[in-house]
Amino acid sequence: ALDIGRDLGTAILNVRAFEREHRLVKELQALDQYKGQLIATVAHELKNPLTSIVGYLEMLEAEDVNAGVQQALSAMDRGARRMVRVIDDLLLLSKVGDPSNPVIPRPVDLSTVARDVVDLTSLAAGKRDLTVDVVAPAYPVLANGDPDELDRLLSNLVSNAVKYTEPGRAVTVALAREGDEVVVECRDEGFGISEADQEKLFTEFFRSTNPVAVAQPGTGLGLAIVARIVERHGGRIELDSALGRGSTFRVRLPAADPAS
Ligand code: ADP
């Protein structure tokens, strides 16, 4: 009887510990949701006035003004455009991080998405004297997901590969179906990422301390967006990288059946 009493006592303590943990998880989730709403509200509030600033700056730049004023206007224009990029990324980040707004999946051919993304990146790649190729099988590589988000996922990876690779090298986007998954790899022969940086890579606003990487423009939000898109699609992301030896970002997503 004593043993039963002790077991019961332990069981009650375990239940209480479980309840406490459950409450904590709920509180953290609520805080996270609040953070997301706060970011979205602030970004929305900043977006409208900023859009009008960019519009007026363009108007003023078209005026016949002296060189000093022109220089000031163009610096303001660059700054304002950078702010627009950060705000747009924050709005997207809060959208893809919002659990009340889940993906409505449909079959998306990733080979087509990859080719479109590579076409759009070709100007930036050409400027850095890089080749960007898509290696895709003859069959369609169908993921189950949101086409705009999957486009954004690939374009963030490819534009990073282009930004963080020395001129003259190659970037490859390779696709395949493996069982009930589709796999997309974005490989570069670029700067590579140190082990210390790899741990923080997918957090908001993280930018590497590598001086050649920091010299490239960026917000530090691209990979945070990538991670959330992959997560809400039920996928996984893997990274093989070593400093000075390039990086491979590998994304696995649930496949869609051609018939579905
Ligand atoms: P951003 O490119 O705007 O800085 P990201 O979130 O896309 O933001 O990337 C975060 C950081 O990770 C970058 O600043 C860069 O240092 C590093 N990084 C991302 N992709 C690569 C890559 N392919 N090769 C080397 N470094 C990379």
Cβ(109) – ligand 1 distance below 6 Å: no
Q: What is the ipTM of this complex?
A: 0.98
How far, in Å, CA of 166 to CA of 169, rounded? 6
pLDDT digits (tens, 9 = 90+) for 169-189: 999 999 999 999 999 999 999
Question: Would you say the CB of residue 39 lies under 6 angstroms from ligand 1?
Answer: no
pTM above 0.90, yes or no: no
The CB of 194 under 6 Å from ligand 1? The reply is no
* Cα of 221 from ligand 1 centre, angstroms: 9
Nearest CA among 229, 196, 200 for reference residue 89: 229
Q: Residue 192 CA: which ligand 1 atom is closest? A: 25
pLDDT per position as a tens digit, 47-94: 999 999 999 999 999 999 999 999 999 999 999 999 999 999 999 999
What pLDDT, in 10s, does the model give residues 206-247? Answer: 999 888 888 898 999 999 999 999 999 999 999 999 999 999
Tokens of 202: 């997918």
DSSP letter for each residue of 25-61: HHHHHHHHHHHHHHHHHHHHHHHHHHHHHHHHHHHHH
For residue 202 and ligand 1, the question of a CB distance below 6 A is answered with no
Query: Would you state the pLDDT for residue 75?
Result: 94
Order of strands, sheet of 170-178, starting from the edge strand that comes earlier in the sequence: 131-135, 170-178, 181-188, 247-254, 236-241
